[in-house]
Amino acid sequence: MAEQDELTTLQLYMQQMGKHPMLSPEEEKELAIRAKQGDKEALKKLVEGNLRFVVSIAKNFMGWGVPLTDLIAAGNLGLIEAAKRFDPDKNVKFISYAVWWIRQAIMQTIFQQTGAVRIPVKESLFIAKVKETYEKLKEELGREPTEEEIAKRLNTSVKKVKNALSIVRLPISLDMPLGEGGEEDFTLLDVLSKKGTEDIEKELIEETIHKELESMLDVLDERE
């Protein structure tokens, strides 16, 4: 029931988010300048035009015991904070600046909701490696990789892979329909892969997420 409720919430959110077009560099610059001058409507539009990036970042933290909807909500708060603080006079793209605030807000939520989690560093690093290999194989094969295929790639036992995957299983499939039925059904993956969403600042996002995941693993181990 809880997973179904989360899916329904996610469906509604994605439908609303899809109504906000992505901003061109010129539009973003103009909105940022107006927002800095105190224009609340400009601030609102600046945030709405970058909501897809929050989802893109939040999905990288799935598997840590926090619902995707909560991760997105936290990331949105970080996005709003970034929009309030952003200086358009600096030679930096808004999302390059906002990604730090987004991931910090998401991390705070993860620690608040899973503060009792205890995972040794060695095990945590292996889990992260399994998840990374899972994603790479899925892209290479065009389908979900088997536990045997992951184990072979990592030169480890199937049992270890199975145990790791039991921790990082995604609560919601990226291929699950989010529409209301019919030919216009769309998925979370469709939303994230809209032109420009994954390409803009992709390397920056992946790099910062990777660094923060490593930091999280270290902190979790220190809490033992």
pLDDT digits (tens, 9 = 90+) for 134-149: 888 988 999 889 999 9
The whole-number average pLDDT for the span 19-25 is 80
Q: What is the per-residue pLDDT for 57?
A: 85
Q: Which ranges constitute the DSSP H helices of 18-157?
A: 25-36, 40-48, 51-58, 68-85, 94-113, 121-141, 147-154
Residues 6+ apart with CB under 8 A from 109: 66, 70, 71, 73, 74
The whole-number average pLDDT for the span 119-143 is 78
Domains of the chain: 2-117+170-222 (1.20.120.1810)
Q: What is the per-residue pLDDT for 220?
A: 52
> Cα separation of 21 and 5, whole Å?
27
Q: How confident is the model at residue 171 (pLDDT cuts 50, 70, 90)?
A: very low
Q: Residues 33-65: pLDDT tens digits?
A: 999 999 999 999 999 888 888 888 888 787 777
> Cα separation of 170 and 30, whole Å?
38
Q: What is the per-residue pLDDT for 62?
A: 78
Q: What is the per-residue pLDDT for 211?
A: 53
174-180, Cβ contacts within 8 angstroms, sequence gap of 24 or more: 174/59, 176/7, 178/10, 178/11, 178/14, 178/15, 179/11, 179/15, 180/11
Q: What is the per-residue pLDDT for 215?
A: 55
Does residue 194 carry a pLDDT above 60? no
Cβ-based neighbour number of residue 53 at 10 Å = 23
Facing residues of 177 across strands?
A: 187
Three-state secondary-structure class, residue 84? helix
The region of weakest confidence among 22-26, 35-39, 162-166 is 162-166
Does residue 155 carry a pLDDT above 90? yes
Contact 143, 126 (CB under 8 A): no
